[in-house]
Amino acid sequence: MPKNKKESSSSSDSDEGVIDKDPPPHKKAKTGSARTDDKEPTWVLQGKKLVKVREFKGKVYVDIREFYEKNGELLPGKKGISLTPEQWRKLVSLSDEINESISSSC
């Protein structure tokens, strides 16, 4: 009979299975903003969830995404969203309403 496994107490909503709790590579800052090797402005939300301002096909996007580590390199995962500057500005303009809704739900 197999030995009992300890249950994970992770609160992550990721469906990628067990997530390594070790800090990500030196490539990103633990808090605040940083620039990765590719010079993209980067902010850490929590763990490997990052916000980046990126250019793709000549257009600028605000990319909010979970990253994963492969061969010591931090790579973007499938889970995330890329917002145009207009969509980002709209989201920011809604922040007070969203905060009120969060406060009334808790």
Prediction pTM value: 0.62
Cite the DSSP H helix spans in 1-106: 85-93, 95-105
What local confidence, expressed as pLDDT, does residue 60 receive? Answer: 97
What local confidence, expressed as pLDDT, does residue 27 receive? Answer: 44
Pairing state of beta strands 49-56 and 41-46?
A: antiparallel
84 vs 105 pLDDT, higher one: 84
33-105: what fold? Transcriptional Co-activator pc4; Chain A (2.30.31)
The domains of the chain are located at 33-105
Structure confidence by residue, pLDDT tens digits, 27-85: 443 444 444 556 899 999 999 999 999 999 999 999 999 999 999 999 999 999 999 99
Note whether 33 and 42 are within 8 A (CB): yes
What local confidence, expressed as pLDDT, does residue 84 receive? Answer: 98
